Structures are given as C-alpha cells and as structure tokens.
C-alpha cells in the first residue's frame, strides 16, 4: 500500500466502530502512520477506547469534549442489509450520525477532517455502466434508505464541518463475518464442503479488498477535499459465478451450487459497479488488490 504521510502534531483520530471489520485494520494502519487513535465501542471500553452509544446525544457531546479529535472517521452503523429491526437502521445510521455531527459542530476544537462512511447501496438497482457520484439516489432497502437520509442530513453540516462522505462498494477480506456472502462462500471451501446454498447467483459486484478501503480512508485524512461524496471502488465488475470459480481454483475442487429460494432477495441489486475517477482525482492512484489474492488470503486464514 502507499506509505502514509506524516500526520501533523497533535493528530488524534476519533474512530467509531473501531472493533468492526473495517475499524480494526484501519486502527492498526493509522497507528503505524503515527496517528493517535481513540476508538468508540458500545460495550466496555478497553485501552485506547471510549464507550459511546451514538443514539445518545449527551454521550456524543461528552465523548467529543473529552477526546477533542483532530480527525473523525465514522464507521459505526447497522450495515447488515437483512437486519431484523428496520427502525434500527434509522436510529443508528441517521439519528446517531446527527448526534455526532452536532456535537462536533459545537465543539471548540474543530476537526481538520470528518470522514463519514455511507454506502454504494444508495444508488439502488440501476445496472449498466459504472456508476458515478452524480447518479441519483434509488435505495432498494432500509439500509440503503438510511444511508441516503444520513447523507442528506450530513450535507447540511458542510458549511460547519470539513466533511467527506464515502460510498464504499462491496469489499471483503480476512476477518469479515460469514454472514456476508463472500466470506460465506470462502468458509464452505475452507471446510471442504461439497454443496453450497446461495440466493441470487447472477449478480455482479465491484469487489475491493478491505486493505484498499483502509488505505483510502487513511489518505483522505491528509487530502484537501471537503464537502464531497466519493465512491470507494475498483471499477471492476465480478460475478458471483466467477468468485466461485476462483475459489474452486484455490481450493482445488468443484462445489455444487444450489439456489435456495429463502436466500433470494426480492429487491437484490443485479449489478453494482463503481466509477472511481473522483476518488483517484482526490487521493491519487488506488492500491487495488487482485480478487484472487483476497480470496486466497481469506481461505488460508479460515483453514
């Protein structure tokens, strides 16, 4: 990955969702680059962490006042699309983010950059060519609708805070929960399973490696860009059929793929491929990890 620039001193990052799939490697990367990272967690806080329930405006004010962050990267969210309670998406992703931004806007210590993680799911099921940031919103799930609402709300703070909103497309890597599709597929091969049940298999996604996404977040901190929305993607479409083929090559055997109607999402997006041009203009060339390398790393980590 591209080496990190030396952060200004002091350089304290408030990282929400610090124990998540993206948060943990991002924390390590930022610390290696010289940043001091204070992570937020819902449960009991450990070293370098603070407890924070984003749905509490009072807790947000208290944490911002105590941490006095120079930078903020906001990853915490309800992100599992089939999550059972639809209202949670809005309580956490919209109201929680509002509380955080309001606390930051009232703080006497103004941050140098606030990076908010949105989602490419805000584009909905449009298919076709690579999607640029100018594509209109068309959310097809409560998760996507909550991210759309979060972006709309956050834009009202553009005149008060140096905000950059990222729209990550699909990404995966070592450590992602097997409740997500790619780790589920890899885990079947790691266990030597001969049959796998999936939902829609004719979908195509822009699969990035979590290491690329982490590198993007790190580089955004030192960028000049603000009041912007940026796709985080590779621009390369890969079908689930190809993911399975790559895993068969890695594991050395073929698997029987069966479609389980219970796993088929009625509103599933058929193709989701991003245009990374604006991101590249903001931070420079991307360090794209080949998908085969990503899958192989996940496979060996699970064995």
Q: Is 157 a catalytic residue?
A: no
Instruction: Give burial (CB, 10 Å; 0-12/13-18/19+) of 179.
Output: exposed
What are the Cα distances from residue 184, in Å, to 187, 193, 251? 5, 11, 14
The dihedral through the CA atoms of 248, 253, 254, 258 has a sign that is negative
Q: How far is CA 88 from CA 81, 84, 143, in A?
A: 11, 9, 9
Strands 113-117 and 12-16: unpaired
Token pair, residue 111, equals 């941050």
Residue 28 CB: number of other CB atoms within 10 A?
A: 12
Q: Are strands 204-205 and 49-51 parallel, antiparallel or unpaired?
A: unpaired
Of residues 35, 71, 123, 143, which has the active-site annotation?
143
Active site residues: 143
């Amino acid at each position: 990955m591209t080496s990190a620039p030396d952060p200004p001193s002091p350089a304290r990052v408030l990282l929400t969702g610090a124990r998540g799939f993206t948060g943990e490697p991002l924390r390590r990367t930022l610390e290696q680059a010289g940043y001091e990272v204070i992570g937020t967690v819902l449960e009991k806080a450990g070293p370098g962490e603070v407890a924070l329930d984003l749905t509490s405006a009072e807790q947000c004010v208290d944490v911002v006042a105590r941490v006095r962050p120079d930078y903020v990267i906001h990853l915490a969210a309800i992100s599992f699309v089939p999550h059972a309670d639809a209202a949670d998406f809005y309580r956490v992703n919209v109201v929680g983010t509002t509380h955080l931004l309001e606390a930051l806007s009232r703080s006497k210590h103004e941050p140098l950059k606030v990076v908010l993680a949105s989602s490419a799911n805000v584009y909905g099921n449009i298919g076709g060519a690579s999607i640029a940031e100018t594509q209109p919103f068309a959310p097809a799930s409560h998760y996507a609708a909550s991210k759309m609402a979060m972006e709309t709300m956050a834009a009202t703070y553009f005149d008060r805070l140096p905000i950059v909103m990222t729209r990550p497309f699909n990404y995966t890597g070592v450590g992602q929960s097997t409740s997500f599709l790619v780790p589920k597929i890899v885990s079947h091969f790691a266990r030597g399973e001969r049959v796998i049940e999936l939902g829609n298999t004719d979908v195509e996604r822009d699969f990035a490696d979590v290491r690329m996404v982490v590198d993007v977040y790190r580089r955004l901190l030192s960028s000049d860009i603000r009041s912007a929305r940026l796709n985080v993607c590779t621009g390369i479409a890969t079908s689930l059929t190809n993911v399975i083929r790559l895993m068969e090559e890695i594991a050395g055997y073929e698997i029987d793929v069966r479609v389980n109607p219970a796993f088929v999402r009625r509103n599933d997006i058929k193709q989701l491929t991003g245009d990374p041009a604006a991101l590249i203009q903001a931070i420079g060339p991307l360090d794209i990890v080949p998908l085969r390398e990503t899958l192989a790393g996940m496979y060996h980590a699970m064995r």
